[in-house]
Structure formats: structure tokens, C-alpha cells
Amino acid sequence: MDYYGSQITKLIEQLASLPGIGGKSAQRLAFHIVNMPQEKVEQLAGAMVDAKKHICYCKECCTLTDQEICPICSNPVRDKKTIMVVESSRDLAAYEKTGKYDGVYHVLHGAISPLLGIGPGDIRLKELMHRLQGNVSEVIIATNSSLEGETTAMYISKLIKPTGIKVSRIASGVPVGGDLEYIDEVTLLRALEGRVEL
């Protein structure tokens, strides 16, 4: 039943289609947006459109950025010989918040999941293997502690081992089934420091 008229209902439906936004949250957001000054609404809408137009993948690590090379990869202070492999840009951000990792990253944009039809060719493994032809001494696999994350970690380990590059896995300070983006910095740091060679 349409309580508010088609425009508000349409806005609520669009907001509810976003991940993590339920019907009540969408309704609250919609009313908040409707009550915002016109200028603020235009800024919000403009920021979304600009982000969609200008955000791309970093040519080195595949994270999301608005530049050809992201700020981490272009930072001359970062240790380019150590690559941490993560599933998403959110996981990269979680590790950056620890302030203790000075290497670079590689973002897979997913994990191997045969049940969902996601194979090795569907994530950014080819780009990772291309990067390993350079001067790399260690690859830290920091995929989630889920079945998919563990499967991906083992697959990557088997790919890299023959190259002679050291492969390590973050320690189990990260709970099984936990997503990295929701874990506090101390736990992430312990997991990084307690990593083990695969």
C-alpha cells in the first residue's frame, strides 16, 4: 500500500535495495533526505554520480581509487616487496587502520566459491601472478576465515610456492567466519604479527 505518494515510495525502494539497509532504515533515510536543504541533497546526489563516473581499479593492486595508481601503491615509503592479498577494498582499509603494515596490497574482489560459481578466473588472481614477476619477497594471504577464504588461500599458496616466494597466512586471531572489515585493529594486528608460512 502506498502511504506517501509515488516519489517517496520510489526513494524508499531505491534505498532499501542497498546492502545492509532494511525497510525501516530506508524509510528513515528517505525522510531525512526529503527534509535536507536542496543544496545538501544536490551535493549528496552529485557525490554519488561523481564516484560512479570516476572511481576505477588501481592498475597495480586493483583496489578502488579515483587515480590510475592508488595512494598506497604510489607511496615511495611503502615496502613493494611485501604484498598482502585481501578479498576487498574494505579489508585493505581495515588493515590500514592498524597503522602497522608498511607493505602494499592486492585486492582480489572476491573469493573462490564453487557453490556460487566463482572460480579462480573470476577474481584478480591473474593480476597478482603478473605482479609476482617483479621483485617480491613475501605474499601475506589475508583472506577471510570462511570456507571460501580458506579455499582461496590454499589455491593462492599452491600457485605461488613453485616461484620460491615466501607465502604466509594471517594467524587465527581473526575468528572463523569473521569478516575482516568488522574486526578491531588490535585483533587484526595480532593476526598479522602471528602469521605463519604456508
Q: Determine the longest span between alpha carbons in the chain, in angstroms.
A: 64
**Please, what are the domains in the chain?**
6-54 (1.10.8.420), 67-197 (3.40.1360.10)
pTM of the model: 0.76
> Using 50, 70 and 90 to split pLDDT, how confident is the model at 175?
low
Name the nearest CA neighbour of 140 among 74, 59, 75, 196: 196
**Residue 79 pLDDT > 90:** yes
Name the β-bridge partners of 107: 86
pLDDT digits (tens, 9 = 90+) for 12-36: 999 999 999 998 999 999 999 999 9
- Predicted confidence at residue 55, as pLDDT, reads 93
Exposed, middle or buried: residue 140 (CB in 10 Å: 0-12, 13-18, 19+)?
buried
- Predicted confidence at residue 196, as pLDDT, reads 64
pLDDT digits (tens, 9 = 90+) for 130-150: 999 989 999 999 998 778 888
